[in-house]
Amino acid sequence: MESIEQMIPHRPPFLFVDEILAETDDALTTRRKIRPEEDFFKGHYPGNPIMPGVLICEAVFQSGAVLLFRQLRAQGEDLSRLTPVLTRITEGKFRNPVRPGDELIIDVRLKERLGRFLFMSGSVRTADDRKVLTVDFSVALVETAGTPPANPASP
């Protein structure tokens, strides 16, 4: 089975997806175990550790990148030339804190694609079914830095 690190460029300590749990044509469910030794807990409310909301959002965005990777590859797109770049975050709602030892279940769905722009939604809950986050977001597929244009102009 293909690893998450083969699909997206993120690496520890900034990788917030452990595994894929389920997949359909336009949706993906992933899992992330929140480890007590995570570096961010050292400074984010010492004595009362809470995962920063922006990192919970990042887990959703990384799960979205995995979904896009799998879809684009299936469509035959040259993934070495494209990087999904976050362009918009809307409707973010945090419902419960995430603490060391929690297991996050992350659902992402592709709502619409308009050329190189993709509109997605995501949600996070804990394995014991506490709602954590809902968010809508969009990404643009941009040329990967350092790659020549797909159709270079003739000299």
| Residue 33's CATH number | 3.10.129.10
Assign 77 a pLDDT band (cuts: 50, 70, 90).
Answer: confident
The answer as to whether 150 is a domain residue is no
Residue 153 included in any domain: no
152, part of any domain: no
pLDDT-based confidence at residue 1 (cuts at 50, 70, 90) = low
What is the model's pLDDT at position 145? 80
The reported pLDDT for the residue numbered 150 is 56
Over range 44-70, report the average pLDDT.
96
Count of Cβ atoms closer than 10 Å to residue 150 Cβ: 9
**Confidence (pTM):** 0.91
| Tally of structural domains, the chain | 1
pLDDT on residue 152: 47
Domain assignment present for residue 67? The answer is: yes
* Domain ranges, residue 104: 4-143
Q: Decide if 138 contacts 119 (C-beta within 8 A).
A: yes
Residue 47 lies in a domain: yes
- Containing 58, the helix (H) or strand (E) segment is helix 53-74
Q: Go through the chain and tell me how many residues it has.
A: 155
Active centre residues (catalytic): 44
Whether 66 maps to a domain, the answer reads: yes
Assigned domain for 35 exists:
yes
